[in-house]
Amino acid sequence: MAARYTDEFRRDAVRILVTSHLTRPQVASDLSVGLSTLNKRIQRHPHDDLMSGPHEGVEKETERLRTKVRLLHEQRDAFKLSRLAIAPLD
């Protein structure tokens, strides 16, 4: 009997394929689905909204990442200044 997959699973399979930079055979193997099954899903629904579905916490995660980037920029700038202070004068 053929396995029945939920729409969410199918949508996630396409999203993983598109965003992971893995080959189709790798994704099919990782998800334990047939390569032809994955290919059919992509052919039937090439323009599915890959971001549809629940995305709780996306805004919170975005803010966390922005804060981290800001901190890393500050650390980089401080490191550059410290290297200038240590650099020998010619």
CATH number for the domain harbouring residue 22 = 1.10.10
In terms of C-beta density within 10 A (0-12 exposed, 13-18 middle, 19 or more buried), how is residue 17 classed?
buried
Its pTM stands at 0.48
Q: What is the domain extent for residue 59? A: 55-90
Q: What is the dihedral of CA 13, 15, 21, 24, to 10 degrees?
A: 30
Q: What is the pLDDT of residues 9-55, one digit of tens each?
A: 888 888 888 778 889 999 889 888 999 988 888 887 766 555 555 56
Domains held by the chain: number: 2
**Same domain assignment for residues 31 and 66:** no
Q: For residue 40, what is the enclosing H or E element?
A: helix 35-44
**Same domain assignment for residues 63 and 49:** no
Q: What is the pLDDT of residue 11?
A: 81
